Structures are given as C-alpha cells and as structure tokens.
Structure 1
Amino acid sequence: MYEKKIIMTLLSFITTTLLVVGCSSSKDIQDFNIDKIALDEAKKITSEQGYTLKSETLTESDILIGDSEVFTLIKEASIKGGYLKEDLDSMTEDRKVVGYELAEKSKEDEPIMLCMVIDKGKVIGAYLDYSGYSQGITSIDFKYNFKQL
C-alpha cells in the first residue's frame, strides 16, 4: 500500500515536470528578447536614416502571412532596404511583425510606422508603413511622403 502511494506521487511529479518542460517552446524563447531585438534595430535604422522614434514602446501587428500581396510589398521593401531575400523566403510561423511610431508625419499629417519582421531571434526585414496611403508599405529610406518640418 505504501509503495503504491510513493509510485503515484512519483508519477504525478514526473507528469507535472514533463508538462512544464513540454509547454516551453522556441517561440517563448524568441518572445523573451523580442523587445530588445526590435528596439536595437529600430535605433540603428533611425540613426542611419535620420528618423526619430516617437516612443520606445513597440506595437505588435502581424499583417504579414495572411495576405500574399501585402507580404510581397513587405518583402520588396525589406530587400530594397538591405535585408536578405533568403531570410524572408525561409521565415517560420514563429515570426513577429512589430512597429514603432516615428515622430515624423506624412504629408497628410498621418503617423508613419517603422515596422520590422523578426524571426529566429533576428530582424529579417524592415519597412515604413504610411498610414492613409494606398500602398503605404515602402522601403525604410523612402522619404517622399514625409511632411516637411
């Protein structure tokens, strides 16, 4: 009887341990550093392009996979901005699309977002998203629609 209690307790412990370990995934690991990865890249881009982050708080919005036309625009803009086509072609389902609002505004006085595609612990693409423009997804160096200050 005593042995049965020990075995049941041991099985319960093993089951709980396996459940906890099994629930941990690479996606959780990627999410752990996503704020730092995104902010480091955003600071690099803004420094190189002369932009200013309105806030260092990122927003998540994954518009990427469900719409092949949008993905094509993002891919083209990212490649034009210096990112690798191979990285975008091999992107996984664990990817994230995050953005930061820039202090700069569009000619229509609308916000401009600096968006980044993050996968496998690194930024594999980046683009500007001009709110209020048809085909608002452009390369990170596209300043034609910027409002003159």
Structure 2
Amino acid sequence: MEPAIYLFFKGNCLEAMTHYAEVLGGEIGAVFRNSDAPDPESRMPGGEDLIMNMNMRLGNAMVMASDSPAEMYSKPSGFRVCIAPASRDEFERIHGALAKDATSVEMAPDETFWAERFAMFTDRFGTPWMLNFGGSKAQS
C-alpha cells in the first residue's frame, strides 16, 4: 500500500496538473469533468468543465486532484509536496518552472547543512512545494 497525494484547486485543476506533468515528467491518466457525471445530482456546484477527479502518474507515485467549488475551497496548509531532483541542473530547471509567479517564497534556493540546494515556495496554483537536492551532502 502506498499513499497518494490529493490536491484541490480553485477551478484550474487541469491547467495545474498539466503543468506539473510537463515539468516533472508525469503522465496524465483519467480525467473526469463535472459534465461526465451521469446526472445533475451527481455533479458538484459550478461549471461543467470543473474537474471532479483526475490523476497523474509521477514515477511510482500517484498524484490525484480535483477542483473545489468556491464555497468549499480552502488554502492548502500543513504539508508540502516534496521533490528530490537528481541533479543541480534538474533542481534549477524544476524550480524555475514551478516557482514562476509563486504566491509566496518561504525559502529561496540556497545551500543548507543537509543539501546543496533547497527551496520552499507556494506556486501560482496554490500548491506548497519543497525541493531538495542533497548532492554531495546526501545521506545514504
């Protein structure tokens, strides 16, 4: 049994998840829109293009997501999606793509005592990220 990350968005789920798939090399799987529900009672409040559920395979991990009706959306807190790029160049590429237009930067890319590069930010879609490239400081 492996946990899956489940993200909620304010109406831009498909755009966000497509961006993540392109940046991180993920593969979008099933996408179910409000309009795919068999009847109006099975739909969530909002437009027909809202995403009810979708998934993206990212390596061995499954990332799932949906839009939240405006009255049900709450800003993510208490967690971060953590990515460990394989190289410094990959760290810089991923950081540049995900942190562009970030809504907040808690820690700009820098060296720490445990990693050659580390950063924490919340992207333009509201997802909180943590990037960590251990490099020569990585522990086995």
> What is the TM-score normalised by the length of structure 2?
0.27
Higher helix residue share = 1
> What is the TM-score normalised by the length of structure 1?
0.26
